Amino acid sequence: MRLFNPETMTEVIQGFHDTAGAIELPDDNWFFTSTEIPEGKKLAVNNSGEPILIDISQLAE
């Protein structure tokens, strides 16, 4: 089970971090397979609290 905190946009490790507000993500979620955010992208959270990547240009809109 992999946990993600949509407020802090970080991985949550049970027994080490506070799990309040964390959501469970599937093990194959891209957030756990990528080591860095691609250039021109920014980490954001969708309506379900899951991590998504958005274009930095979308922030100006």
| Cβ-based burial of 56 (10 A; exposed 0-12, middle 13-18, buried ≥19) | exposed
Q: What is the pLDDT of residue 60?
A: 61
Considering the entire predicted model, what is its pTM?
0.77
Q: How many CB atoms lie within 10 A of CB 4?
A: 21
Residue 19 — very low, low, confident or very high, per pLDDT cuts 50/70/90? Answer: very high
